[in-house]
Structure 1
Amino acid sequence: MLSTKYRLNLCAIEKNFSTILTAIICFLFDEDKFRKKNREFGKETFARRLCARQNEAFSFDHISTKYNISEADLNNWVHFAAIREPIDRFVSGFVDKCLVERTWIQYKERCNGCMTNLTCFVDAEYDRMLRFSKEKARLNSFDDRHFFPQNW
């Protein structure tokens, strides 16, 4: 997520204050639109974010190409990410995504199909992490984005 006006680039990491940070960057990307639509930082969601696909990029190359910004110019930007204590992030993620949201999520797609079973979930996610690190497997599931190490 980025704000070209303020030269800010946010690497949003799931379960790290990402929804609020994304809303803040959206506001800084287009303040007038955010105000005109009566949006509020605390009421934004990932699925209904105002700036979806408008201020998003997936690499520095993508930013350079999409916004016609040179690599040298990107060196003058502020690039940041919020990092959370890993155990706190894991517990928060498991409670939120596998226990609280269990009434509406499809367990075949989330929580590694383990429903509320923590042992099953940890074993399955650990196996995925090993595959990703050893085999360079292209993994990017909902669970991976919420539970893989933050520096990956």
Structure 2
Amino acid sequence: MKVQFSGTEAIRAPKEQVRQFILDPNQVGRCLPDLQELTVADPTHATAIVKVGVGPVRGRFKLDIELQPGGDAATIHVRGSGMGSSLSMMSEVRLEETPEGTNLHWQADASVSGPLASVGGRLLEGQARKTVEQLFANIRSRLESVAV
């Protein structure tokens, strides 16, 4: 099953601070909803264990995270598996400086297969959207809590 969604987070923090944050796997990893464990391998890679629950299907997923810089943009690749299911997601992030701080524009394309995908289109799509939106909302919250 494939899903695609996008959004914008208005962040009250300087663009350079936001850029550095989204290129740090330790910072981005800690923003994952339901994070249980995070291991940073190098400046662009991390592995995370997260709790997943969609309808009656519940368990843990191991995620491999890769961050790729690109000037005022970045790409976040997430590949994962757990509970007999697999996930592949690519999020493109673009930063725009504003008088109030930075707009973080994001677009996510995800593909899920296995028992998790069989739960049902609307249920899975809603949970996937909620999880990705929460990730970017957590990034905004963490940045604003340390903005100077």
TM-score by length of 2: 0.23
Structure with more of its chain in helix, by fraction: 1
TM-score under structure 1 length normalisation: 0.23
Is the strand fraction higher in 1 or 2?
A: 2
